[in-house]
Amino acid sequence: MNLLFVADPLESFKIYKDSTFSMMREAAARGHTLSACEPKDLHWQRGGPVVAQLREITLTGREDRWFSAGERQARPLKDAGAVLMRKDPPFDPEYFYATHLLGQAEREGARVFNKPAALRDHPEKLAILEFPQYIAPTLVTRSEADVKAFHAEHRDIILKPLDGMGGMGIFRVGADGLNLGSIVETLNQGGAQTLMVQKYLPEIVKGDKRVLVIGGEPVPFSLARIPQGSEIRGNLAAGGKGVAQPLTPRDREIAEALGPVLAARGLLLVGLDVIGDCLTEINVTSPTCFAEITAQTGFDVARRFIDALEQALR
142 neighbors 194 (Cβ within 8 angstroms):
yes
Spatial CB neighbours of 52, under 8 Å, sequence gap ≥ 6: 4, 6, 37, 41, 42, 43, 74, 75, 77
Query: Can you tell me whether residue 275 is helix, strand or coil?
Result: strand
Query: Cα angle at 147 between 146 and 148, to 5 degrees?
Result: 90
| Cα–Cα distances in angstroms (integers) from residue 269 to residues 117, 199, 211, in the given order | 14, 28, 11
d(CA 167, CA 72) in angstroms, rounded, equals 35
Spatial CB neighbours of 71, under 8 Å, sequence gap ≥ 6: 55
Backbone angles phi, psi at 253, to 5 degrees: -60, -50
91 neighbors 163 (Cβ within 8 angstroms):
yes
Peptide bond into 90 cis (omega under 30): yes
Query: Active-site positions?
Result: 125, 160, 210, 225, 233, 273, 281, 283
Amino acid found at 115: K
